[in-house]
Amino acid sequence: MGDSQQGKGKKPYNPWTSKESNMPLELMVDATNYGWRDSNGLLSKQIVESRILHVLNAKLGCQKTYHQYQGRLKWFKTRYHSFTQLMRHSSGFGWESISKKFTATKEVWQDYFETYQIAGYQ
């Protein structure tokens, strides 16, 4: 019955833990330092599967695939874009190191949301 709820041909959802998320970043930095990038500056599928996912799966006992890696990479890029956008609009923003969150007054947030036309701010 569980398979019918997942849809035909779909694999079960396998969320990334924080430990699983941190390790690919470390391994990507290592791969870059070792010069494993191609001429476009990217990590090839072969390198990702043999040098990143192989190590990640072995060390953490998970079974992440290249497709899942690409999804996590997209997630990282989205977070990075949001972070850099906040930093460029940095007037009035602070950083709370304990909670690891941006801080700002209500007016600063309102200006940020209006500037970037982000709906839903109350």
Write out the two tokens for 117: 């036309």
Segments of 1-122 assigned E as strands: 94-96, 101-103
Q: What is the mean pLDDT of the chain?
A: 82
Write out the two tokens for 70: 């690409």
Q: State what percent of residues in the chain have pLDDT above 70.
A: 81
pTM for the model: 0.63
In the 8-state DSSP scheme, what is residue 50? I
- pLDDT tens digits, residue range 85-104? 777 766 788 888 888 888 88
Which pLDDT value is given to residue 33? 92
Write out the two tokens for 93: 């923003």
Higher pLDDT, 99 or 82: 99
Residue 43: how many other CB atoms lie within 10 Å = 19
Q: What is the DSSP string of 24-58?
A: HHHHHHHHHHTT---TTSPPPHHHIIIIIIHHHHH
Which pLDDT value is given to residue 2? 45
- pLDDT tens digits, residue range 37-69? 888 888 999 999 999 999 999 999 999 999 999
